[in-house]
Chain A
Amino acid sequence: MNLTGHIVGKDLFRLRWILVLWAIVLTARMALAVIQSELDVAGYYPFYVMALVFGRIFLPLLGFGLVMGVQGDDPVSDSDAFWITRPISASRLLGAKCLVLASLWSIPSLVMAPWWIAHGFDLGQLCVAVLQTTSWQAALTMLALPFAVISPSASRFFMSVLLAATGSFAFVLVYQFSHFDSAAANPPEASVARAWVIPGLWAAAAAAIILVQFLTRRTRLSIAILTTALAACCALACAWSWKLLPPAATAGEVLRVPAPVFHLASATAGRDTTVHVAYGAGQRENDRVAIVGAITHQLTWPDDSVFIASPLSSGDPLAQACSAFVLGNTDGPGISSDFALPDQARWRRMRHEAPRYLATITGTVMHAEILATIQPRTGEVSLQHGLRLKIAEVVPDFRRGMVLTVNESNPDLVAGAWPRLLGRSEPSPAREYYFLVKRDEGRAMLGTAKAVGESLTAGPLAYSRKELVFPMDGAQFGRWAGTALLVKVAAYDDGPFTATVAVPHFAVEAATEDKTAAGASHP
């Protein structure tokens, strides 16, 4: 029998009841959250408090203490430990302990896997969720293990942790007090660099301590490393102001879009001339990008007098873009305006004196994404990208149209994983749209959303209730309710920009002209 496996088996057998307890607590926390997500009213706050205690306090503490539980049976800082006098090499013991810890890390994932699978996580999402859950456990382990390997007993472990926490707190307190006047907000790049440097430093120190303890059992050296690392981490947390990482990419770089493209055209029909201005998003797929914000343009005579100056479009261009997006219209509606020139005098003058054209667009490049697609029927539940959408009721309202009451919650958070939209900010409610879509007919109807009651975020669960109204008459109701899909779209803000385009001589004879914005700036 493999001796490493034999040690692993011994440890798991020893911790079996604690592991069962842990699994029960994990399940209980999830069950509580699931119960909450089904509740329609905010009057069940005690449940949220229980979930908060379970999720935020008890579980991390249990996970932290379990690390000592694993290490405590074969202490590497006690010269009277049983294993030292037996034919067990330090490297074998280290390997066995790593395997036991890895087994522990898998338990939250094992408990939550049925939930994830039941909520439609595909293989990739499942892997991400497991990775997220495991990395959380791994972070706890990296925090606890250095203390565990220098402690011969559980009481010493908790004493060491308490001492380190108190020392760190005192350090930060003294620093903050002594730098009270000079306290200045760090730039985001410095905070990001700090967020990498401190865990990196701690991980390196933890690895050194673990190796020193297992291979040489020089506890004093390990304590010195631990104390130094802790002090260094505290100092860095207080005083770090360097930007190690390159500055954040501008919107143009992020999107790989050189600049928006302006398409100008003029058409003459009889005595009328129409100037058509359209905006696209360069080399970016149109269906993934919408440009919103103030767009102004003007046509100026050679003597600098202005004959057209107005906003380019009205309404919500992002909603238009999202509408095209949900319909799968890859060309996208773009943003465009037509300006008729009925004034014969101006038209004649334009033919002889080509005006200058100048457009300025200040806006935000938005990245649209479908979050959920469900049939608008009562009780339908769908899940995509970490969103749980449940339609409570579908009501025909003769004054307003189709009214859908929707409960939304985030099951990723319920199940302990981070949102599956890894690395991306969650959409803000102002940038969410609800559409009724009939793809076969190429029609999309934008609904108005209104929050009902309170939106709750407590414990592991975020929960909200909304009323969606789609304006339609009674005849339309049956048609849309039967075959349409309710689509929720979120638009993520990829960064603000300003771009201008100038055409020195825009003549009507030059029927069409494409111009890439010049002088685009991305603050």
Chain B
Amino acid sequence: MNIIETQQLSRRYGRAEALHSLDLAVPAGSVFAFIGPNGAGKTTTIKVLMNLLEPTGGQARVLGVDSRKLTPRERRQIGYVSENQKLPDWMTVDQLMRYCRPFYPTWDRDLEKKLLHQFELPADRKLKLLSRGMLMKTALLSSLAYRPKLLVLDEPFSGLDPLVRDEFIKGALEVSQQEEWTIFISSHDINEVEQLADRVGIIDGGRLQLAEPIAELQGRFRRIEVTAGGEDLSLADLPETWLEVERAGNFVRAIESRCSDERLAGYRQGRLAEVEFTAKPMTLREIFVVLARVNRVKAGQAAA
């Protein structure tokens, strides 16, 4: 069952198209990382999912309900933390918790106390006096204490120091893994997201580039290096699935985007049998950078 599902989701700001026919599915119980460069459409997607913005086309369903028709009943099952969210900064942390509690029948006071202690938040301090990291932790606390089915985090790490990030991730993961919540997280910080997520969606220019489990993605992408000895390798003969092919003399470096054991075995047994051939695994960050570059090139060619 998918907790989040979008079909041909589009959103325009005047003439600018922020989202273009986005088809996305986030299965229940997954930690879904939604990554993309600046202006890719991550925040717009999340705002549409949370009904903070209306889509100009298509449909988004959250917890099985059209995002435009989210009622308090669904909201009680959704936690939302965003770097842009404006918290009532005249309240203290404790006042914020007291204000939020009655809205959630499932509010867990023990969990609230535990997280308050874990995040080392000063309960009697006003939010306007808190640092950015503490504010984000407060927002997370107010979104975790009622044990939501879906936790949506929009750029939660931006501006946070590594220590706070670790605490934040630890806090989010600990609870979500115990409860099998679904987490939808958008971030620039791919390294942090890689630790957290089991699925990833990459968006660029308002278009979804891919959405799949991270393990599959990392299994699919390999950094290929070929040293051909005395022979020259013809670039025209290289597989189409190789991206960003670079050549220096008899040395070729490329990214295989459809890698599999069978395909590697085929390379080794086929025309690359006589050459030195290596296929190294890639990090999510490297894959993201490659895809972003390829998209830029494609967009440039299309514009030309």
In the bound complex, do residue A80 and residue B103 qualify as a contact, i.e. CB atoms below 8 Å apart? no
- B76, B99, B104: most-surrounded residue (chain A CB, <10 A): B99
B71-93 CB contact bits vs A (8 Å, 1 = yes)? 11101101010101111101000
Cross-chain contact A84 with B103 (CB below 8 angstroms):
no
Interface residues of B in 85-117 (CB under 8 A from A): 85-88, 90, 99-100, 102-104
A400 at interface by CB-CB < 8 Å: no
Taking the complex as formed, is B47 at the interface, i.e. its CB lies under 8 A from any CB of chain A? yes
Q: How far is the CB of A492 from chain B (nearest CB, A)?
A: 53
Residues in A neighbouring B100, C-beta threshold 8 A: 86
In the complex the two chains form, is A87's CB within 8 Å of B52's CB? no
Nearest A residue (CB) for B72? A87
**1/0 contact trace for A1-32 toward B, CB 8 Å?**
10100100010001000000000000000000
Cβ distance B12 to chain A, nearest Cβ, rounded Å: 14
Report the Cα distance A174→B102, complex, angstroms: 55
Contacts of B72 in A (CB 8 A): 87-89, 92
A81, A84, A85 — most chain B CB neighbours (10 Å): A85
Beta-carbon contact of A79 and B53 below 8 Å: yes
A80 with B88, Cβ < 8 A, contacts A10-B99, A87-B104 known? no
Is A398 positioned at the interface, with any CB of B under 8 Å from its CB? no
Please determine whether B103 and A3 come into contact, CB atoms closer than 8 angstroms. Answer: yes
| A151 smallest CB distance to B (angstroms) | 14
B50 interface hit (Cβ, 8 Å): yes
Minimum CB–CB distance for A84 against chain B, Å: 6
Residue A78 interfacial (CB < 8 Å): yes
- A interface bracket (residues with beta carbon within 8 Å of B): 10 to 19
Q: Which residues in A have their C-beta under 8 angstroms from that of B80? A: 85
Q: Which residues of A contact B102 (CB under 8 A)?
A: 1, 3, 6
Complex Cα distance A212/B101, Å? 29
Give A89 to B103 CA distance when docked, in angstroms: 11
Chain B residues within 8 Å of A73, by CB: 88, 90
Closest Cβ of chain A: how far from B161's Cβ, in Å? 23
CB-based contact B86/A78 at 8 Å:
yes
Q: Which residue of A lies closest to B85 (CB)?
A: A80
Tell me, in angstroms, the Cα distance from A10 to B102 when the chains sit together.
12
Nearest neighbor of A153 in chain B, beta-carbon distance = B86
Measured CA separation A85–B75 after assembly (Å): 7
Q: Are A87 and B86 in contact (CB under 8 A)?
A: no
Please state if B73 and A85 are interface contacts (CB–CB under 8 Å).
no
Question: Is the beta-carbon distance between A87 and B84 smaller than 8 angstroms?
Answer: no
Contact B87 A82 (CB under 8 A): yes
When A1-B102, A86-B103 are in contact, do A79 and B52 touch as well, CB less than 8 Å? yes
A79-B88 in contact (CB<8A): no
B78 cross-chain contacts in A, Cβ below 8 A: 85
Residue of B nearest to A216 (CB): B54
Give the B interface residue count (CB, 8 A).
Answer: 24
Residue in A73, A79, A86 whose Cβ sees the most chain B Cβ within 10 Å: A86
Task: Given A3-B102, A3-B103, A80-B86, answer yes or no on A87-B53 (Cβ-Cβ < 8 Å).
Answer: no
Interface string of A55-76 (1 = CB under 8 A from B): 0000000000000000001000
With A14-B90, A78-B86, A79-B47 already in contact, the answer to whether A84 and B52 are too (CB < 8 A) is yes
Query: A92 CB to closest chain B CB, in angstroms?
Result: 8
Q: Which residues of A contact B52 (CB under 8 A)?
A: 79-80, 84-85
Chain B neighbourhood of A84, CB < 8 A: 50-52
Asked if A87 meets B73 with Cβ closer than 8 Å, knowing A79-B52, A80-B82, the reply is yes
Min CB distance, A372 to chain B, in Å?
A: 50
The distance in angstroms between the C-alpha atoms of A81 and B88, with both chains bound, is 9
Report the minimal beta-carbon distance from B77 to chain A, rounded to whole angstroms.
Answer: 9
Instruction: Please give, as numbers and ranges, the residues of chain B lying within 8 Å of A87 by CB-CB distance.
Output: 72-73, 75-76, 103-104
A73's nearest neighbour on chain B, judged by CB, is B88
Shortest distance in angstroms between A19's beta carbon and chain B's nearest beta carbon?
Answer: 15
Q: How far is B99's CA from A85's CA once the two chains are assembled, in angstroms?
A: 14
Give Cα distance in the complex from A212 to B235, angstroms: 61
What residue in chain A is nearest B79 (Cβ atoms)?
A85
Query: Bound complex: CA of A506 vs CA of B186, how far in Å?
Result: 106
Nearest neighbor of B100 in chain A, beta-carbon distance = A86
- Chain A residues with CB under 8 A of B90: 14, 73
Question: Which residue from B71, B85, B104 sits with its C-beta under 8 Å from A82?
Answer: B85
CB distance from B188 to the nearest CB of A (A): 19
Report how far A92 CA is from B72 CA in the complex, Å.
10
> Nearest chain A CB to B242's CB is how many angstroms away?
43
In the bound assembly, the distance between CA atoms of A87 and B72 in angstroms comes to 4
Q: Complex: how many Å from CA A87 to CA B107? A: 13
How far is B86's CA from A85's CA once the two chains are assembled, in angstroms?
Answer: 11
Q: Given A14-B90, A86-B103, do A80 and B84 touch, yes or no (CB 8 Å)?
A: yes
Whether A86 pairs with B82 at a CB distance below 8 angstroms is no
Knowing A1-B102, A6-B102, the reply to whether A86 touches B75 (Cβ < 8 A) is yes
State in angstroms the CA–CA spacing of A86 and B87 once bound together.
Answer: 11
CA distance A80 to B71 in the complex (A): 17
Contacts of A78 in B (CB 8 A): 86
Q: When chains A and B are docked, how far (Å) is the Cα of A73 from the Cα of B80?
A: 18
**A81 touching B86 in the complex, CB below 8 Å, given contacts A6-B102, A10-B99, A87-B103:** yes
A14→B86 CA distance, assembly (Å): 16
| A145 to B82 alpha-carbon distance, docked (Å) | 28
Chain B residues with Cβ below 8 Å from A14 are: 88, 90
Measured between beta carbons, the chain A residues less than 8 angstroms from B51 are 84
- Other A-B pairs beyond A14-B88, A85-B85, 16, CB < 8 Å: A1-B102, A73-B90, A78-B86, A79-B47, A79-B53, A80-B52, A80-B82, A81-B86, A82-B85, A84-B50, A84-B52, A85-B52, A86-B75, A86-B100, A87-B103, A88-B75
Q: List 7 A-B contacts (CB under 8 A).
A: A3-B102, A10-B99, A80-B84, A80-B85, A82-B85, A85-B80, A87-B104
| Interface residues of B, Cβ cutoff 8 Å to A | 47, 50-53, 71-73, 75-76, 78, 80, 82, 84-88, 90, 99-100, 102-104
Cβ-closest 7 pairs across A and B: A87-B72, A87-B75, A79-B52, A85-B80, A80-B84, A87-B76, A87-B103
